[in-house]
Amino acid sequence: MTRIEINRKMKKLNFYLQGQLYKTYPIAIGKPETPTPLGEFAIYEKNPRPHPSLGTRWMAFTYQRHGIHGTFNPWTINTAATAGCVRMYNEDVEEIYPLTPIGTPVIIYDREEKIKIPEHADKEIYFVRPGDTVEKIAKRFRITPQELIEFNKIKYPSYLHPGKMLLIPKYKRS
């Protein structure tokens, strides 16, 4: 079962696929005067070509038009900058969009917690740090840049954002 959990306090979106944590993504949430609502919702509408202010994908979860969407202002991620929506990097929302059917539960809460790490077989987790490039990360893990790009379906390799979760194939590290 697919499920989306959003932790406003940590500014993280946890995406579950077939009941298991698939990946954690950095997000922007609502400003104090227009907070992202707490509670349990469900995706009821999807749009692959929303208004440009909503980035490259839109998934609505309240009838007050709160949704999960991309952004052309990536510097706003990890901040409280929206009118109540959940904002993601375009490449991240594009990754989960086709995996998110209508009816997917969206649970939004405030809680201090450790970052959840998926228990993927044969993979190691790495979070992009400021100054990282595909080439530097690939060298660190002894894989080729192309393997890193293909394994993570990185759409824009020149634009790695700090906080982005990457999966590193373990089989290459022996």
pLDDT along the chain (174 residues), means of 10: 96 94 94 97 96 95 96 93 96 95 98 72 80 93 91 85 83 51
3-class SS at 23? strand
> What's the pLDDT score for residue 121?
55
Whether the CB-CB separation of 39 and 136 falls below 8 Å is answered with no
Q: For the whole prediction, is pTM greater than 0.85?
A: no
Q: What positions carry a catalytic annotation?
A: 69, 85
Do 71 and 136 have their domain in common?
Answer: no
Same domain, 87 and 18: yes
Which two structure tokens, joined as six digits, stand for 61?
Answer: 């979860």
| Contact present, 110 and 9 (Cβ < 8 Å) | yes
> What is the reported pLDDT for 167?
85
Which stretches of 43-174 are assigned E, i.e. beta strand?
A: 45-47, 58-60, 67-69, 80-82, 86-87, 105-109, 123-127, 165-169
Do 96 and 129 share a domain, yes or no?
A: no
128 within a domain of the structure (yes/no): yes
Structural domain count of the chain: 2
Task: Tell me, yes or no, whether 34 and 90 share the same domain.
Answer: yes
d(CA 37, CA 107): 10
pLDDT at 173: 47
Separation of alpha carbons 64 and 82, rounded Å: 14
With H, G, I as helix, E, B as strand and everything else as coil, classify residue 24. Answer: strand
Domain boundary (109, 136, 159) is at 109
